[in-house]
Amino acid sequence: MTGKELRQKYLDFFKEKGHAIISGFSLIPENDPTVLFTTAGMHPLVPYLLGADHPAGTRLADYQRCIRTGDIDSVGDPSHLTFFEMLGNWSLGDYFKEEAIKMSYEFLTSPKWLGIDPARLSVTVFAGDDDVPRDEESAAIWESLGIPKERIYFMSREHNWWGPAGQTGPCGPDTEMFLDTGKEACGPECKPGCHCGKYFEVWNDVFMQYNKKADGTFEPLSRKCVDTGMGLERTTAMLQGKRSVYETEFFTPIINAIEKRTGVTYGQEEEKDISIRIISDHIKAATFILGDERGVSPSNVGQGYILRRLIRRAIRHARKLGVTGNFISTPAEVVIEMYKEYYPLLEEKKSFILEELTAEENKFLKTLQKGEQEFEKLLPNLLKSTQKIIPGRIAFKLYDTYGFPIEITEELASEHGLSVDKEGFDKAFEKHQQLSKQGSEKTFKGGLADHSEETTKLHTATHLLHKALRMVLGEHVQQKGSNITAERLRFDFSHPDKMTPEQIKQVEDIVNQKIKEDLPVTMEVMTLDEAKKRGAMAFFADKYDEKVKVYSIGDFSMEVCGGPHVEHTGVLGLFKIQKEQSSSAGVRRIRAVLISENKDA
């Protein structure tokens, strides 16, 4: 079965089961300070899982592009990916465990759908602990479907529990489905979740049935939800009997382009295979980030930093394969061609994507040149040393300060009869990784964004800000990203030039005037097509018959959005722009606050 067929079968199956097929969302989350990228299909649906009404109803399904950056340095092996697609279905207070599990089983085993032999299926369920009882209900449902007790494994919270995202909130047990690959067990303790390769995880059903309270206790939720996820690439590889996702059609056209350009054949030498896999994955991820509706450019902060890191790691590995000069636009063009049917924005933004990739490649080649110059400066003292070893801290400084790859440091060292303290470099790098992981990726454990009174006010203010910016700067202004905490809003928008103090004052005055007018904030549900015909701003959805929520602020602003919002603008207080700066090429960033009327302005 091809990946295209799997994607369509999934949607067809859940459509038959009464699910509305909704658009996937941007890779760059809106108003969520917990994470840089959309990391799972449920991430954009958090407000609805928390209780908001979804315009399409209580049964939903989609395919969602995702990026996970916590394992960037693991990409290169046969399984890790930065970019992937997630198939998902949701029940928002509709069906629960029995129907969800029965639907999962039917889709996996029915000859009409995937036709997997039930004898290959093993499942895990939550074993229970001092806080929450054992999930006997899910186990009984699986047993009723014919899964024998010996293939139903009760696992700990570490394996079969989801959430809450923070200290409190919705959470619950999950049940995971595994297929036996036919490999020999690694030992008597081998079971689903073991890393030996015998069991392949294919699907996960999460049952959000509890609310964790501040005192650490768990109370049942009155509105129970189901969230499921199936990785498109990994499941396709399994269905095709492939050893790796890189052997499927999600990667073979990209790999073929790299082979043609480099003269290196994939599958002959593991070290070169690693480089080819890294280039394939990273350029695909970079292409999707650049080609997103809220796409960013390479920079030294946030999403732009991750994008830069992906591009530069791909370039380093292209050099390892003998590439000189510009290269990465070649695999990027293949990615655009492969995915444009499902993500037409990639084709629309093709020129921008290729220009940005080439510009970053040129910058990095200059960086490498600078690193080589720095190495030459260090060389006389290094050669004087009797040990003839470059300390790990110096190698890491070249990497960290100048972006100089360790492999190139080792090459240059070898040319001068020196070696590199790789162990010392690895220790410094590991420390850097830990700090980077904590600081930039942050931890998304479901990503329940804060929907407090303060963030609700600030979110509403972004609508006023967006409209005011278009009035002052022009209709080319589009939201490119938003990050809201309880203290402030950060709003990224397309605009080529630094705003003047006069323009900033104009925008502030417009927003504050609309707050003073105490305009009502109303919501209507309509199709995306109708919303656009009525003049609503919408920069993300692509299914024109899809139902969306449209928020109007008096006659001033109309925008497609998922919320949350205040009921009238008078409660917002005084709007103040604290800073306006560049975010990346062609994108500006505003930081602003709302000051309560009982505070000094």
Grouping H, G, I as helix, E, B as strand and the rest as coil, residue 136 is: helix
Whose CA is closest to 335, among 295, 264, 283?
Answer: 283
Q: Does 459 appear as a known binding residue?
A: yes
CA distance 577 to 310: 33
CA distance 134 to 130: 10
Contact criterion met (CB below 8 Å) for 27 and 65? yes
Whose CA is closest to 333, among 443, 274, 263, 258?
Answer: 258
- Cα Rg of the chain, angstroms: 26
Q: Does 565 appear as a known binding residue?
A: yes
Q: Does 463 appear as a known binding residue?
A: yes
Contact criterion met (CB below 8 Å) for 508 and 574? no
157 φ/ψ angles, rounded to the nearest 5 degrees: -55, -35
Structural tokens at position 76: 């290169």
155 φ/ψ angles, rounded to the nearest 5 degrees: -120, 165
Whose CA is closest to 298, among 589, 587, 579?
Answer: 587
449 φ/ψ angles, rounded to the nearest 5 degrees: -70, 155
CA distance 369 to 351: 27
DSSP characters for 247-308?
GSTTTHHHHHHHHHHH-PPTTS-HHHHHHHHHHHHHHHHHHHHHTSTT-----SSHHHHHHH
User: Token match 């030039």: residue?
Assistant: 497
Query: Per-residue b/e over 388-405, b at no fewer than 16 CB within 10 Å?
Result: ebbbbebbbbbbeebbbb
Kindly give, in sequence order, each residue whose CB lies less than 8 Å from that of residue 506, ignoring residues fewer than 6 positions away.
468, 472
Whose CA is closest to 525, among 469, 563, 566, 471?
Answer: 563
Query: Per-residue b/e over 540-555, b at no fewer than 16 CB within 10 Å?
Result: bbebeebbbbbbbbee
Q: What is the phi-psi region of residue 596: left when phi exceeds 0, alpha when psi lies from -120 to 50, beta otherwise?
A: beta
Contact criterion met (CB below 8 Å) for 20 and 45? no
Contact criterion met (CB below 8 Å) for 229 and 41? yes
CA distance 39 to 26: 11
- What are the beta bridge partners of residue 168? none
User: Token match 């409660």: residue?
Assistant: 571
Sign of the Cα torsion 447, 277, 297, 551 reads negative
CA distance 22 to 562: 13
Annotated binding site: 459, 463, 561, 565
Annotated binding site for Zn(2+): 459, 463, 561, 565
